[in-house]
Amino acid sequence: MTALLVLGLAAIFTALILAFIASGLLRPRENPEVARSLAAVGAMQNPGARQVRQLELAVPFSDRVLDPVLRHFVGIGRRFTPDQRMQSIRRRLDLAGNPPGWDSDRVVALKALSGLSGFVLGLGLPPLFGAGVLPSAAIFLSATAAGWYAPSMYLYQRGYDRSERIRRELPDALDLMTISVESGLAFDGALSQVALRADGPLAREFFRVLQEMQIGTSRLDAMRALGERTDVSELRSFLGAMVQADEFGIPVASMLRVQAGEMRVKRSQHAEELAQKVPVKILFPLIFCIMPCLFIVVIGPAAITLIQNFSFGGR
């Protein structure tokens, strides 16, 4: 137990030292006047050095420090991540909208780094609080697993929020497309109106469809690719209807009007479904959190009075 305590304290101390070094807190403080004079002399001797230094400092801290650190953890993350899991991570990235700077290598590197952090915390914290062997093992395994799965859970939550936002924005986008087509615009022009006037993941996806069409991809292939990048059933049904309308020559305006009405009905049904789930979801907090407190407030004073009366009667 003493060895574990020493190891935990050493790991925490090392982590703090690295954090302070990375943030610049442990750098030796120089006299500002001396530093300014040295910088002026250096700029006179080498005029380009100051510009290079400014360019280096203009790079964000994440690009200068965090990205090189994450590159060292890519190999570790890939070693513990099978190929099927890598495909699942790429799918999650597509559902999350491929955030800037995020790719499968960055995700596995973050998993390895956060897993290592959970490993160190799970190993060092229990001895500090005097936990036993079984609680220490449980905390160690829980912290390591939580650190390993934390980036995946964050990516899943981001993709879920984005899908829900697409589901909410779809009826309004279809209404705008219907108005645009009925006013004389083509379907591509209606897509551009949604991409320009709306703000959200759906507008960005429509803008990507237009970009793919501009570089030579056919409309059907671009819409099929959009259906593969999302898991929103309403959007997939709309894209399937558009593909069928394009293949069979169905008027786009009437199809858009029908699809807009159906999407609004589906959105109302989805809201009703969520409302019906509320009583079931609130049941467990009610039983385990609210009811015990209510019993304590209501029955507690009576129980205290009974205990006092019986104790006095016994005397």
pLDDT digits (tens, 9 = 90+) for 71-81: 777 777 777 77
DSSP string, 224-287: HHHHHT---HHHHHHHHHHHHHHHHT--HHHHHHHHHHHHHHHHHHHHHHHHHHHHHHHHHHII
pLDDT band, residue 14 (cuts 50/70/90): low
For residue 267, what are the CA distances in angstroms to 198, 225, 234, 237, 281? 19, 24, 9, 14, 21
DSSP string, 153-194: HHHHHHHHHHHHHHHHHHHHHHHHHHHHHHTT--HHHHHHHH
Residue 198, Cβ density class (10 Å: 0-12 exposed, 13-18 middle, ≥19 buried): middle
pTM of the model: 0.67
The DSSP call for residue 73 is: H
Q: What percent of the chain has pLDDT over 70?
A: 76
Work out the mean pLDDT of the chain and round it to a whole number: 77
Q: What number of CA atoms fall less than 13 Å from residue 189's CA on the CB side?
A: 11
Which amino acid, 60?
Answer: P
pLDDT higher than threshold 80 for residue 201: yes
Say if CB 179 and CB 117 are below 8 A apart. no
pLDDT higher than threshold 70 for residue 3: no
pLDDT band, residue 37 (cuts 50/70/90): low
Mean pLDDT, range 269-291, rounded to an integer: 86
Quick one: pLDDT at residue 303?
Answer: 82
pLDDT higher than threshold 60 for residue 163: yes
pLDDT band, residue 53 (cuts 50/70/90): low
Cα-Cα-Cα-Cα torsion 36, 38, 43, 46, nearest 10 degrees, comes to -160
How many CB atoms within 10 Å of residue 223? 21
Quick one: pLDDT at residue 7?
Answer: 54
Domain boundaries 164-269, corresponding CATH code: 1.20.81
pLDDT higher than threshold 60 for residue 159: yes
Helices and strands counted in the chain (H then E): 14, 0
Cα-Cα-Cα-Cα torsion 121, 124, 129, 131, nearest 10 degrees, comes to 100
Mean pLDDT, range 82-100, rounded to an integer: 84
pLDDT band, residue 291 (cuts 50/70/90): confident
Quick one: pLDDT at residue 15?
Answer: 56
pLDDT band, residue 306 (cuts 50/70/90): confident
The per-residue pLDDT for range 230-267, each reduced to its tens digit, is: 888 888 888 888 888 877 877 888 888 888 888 888 88
The per-residue pLDDT for range 135-150, each reduced to its tens digit, is: 788 888 888 888 888 8
pLDDT band, residue 105 (cuts 50/70/90): confident
Quick one: pLDDT at residue 103?
Answer: 81
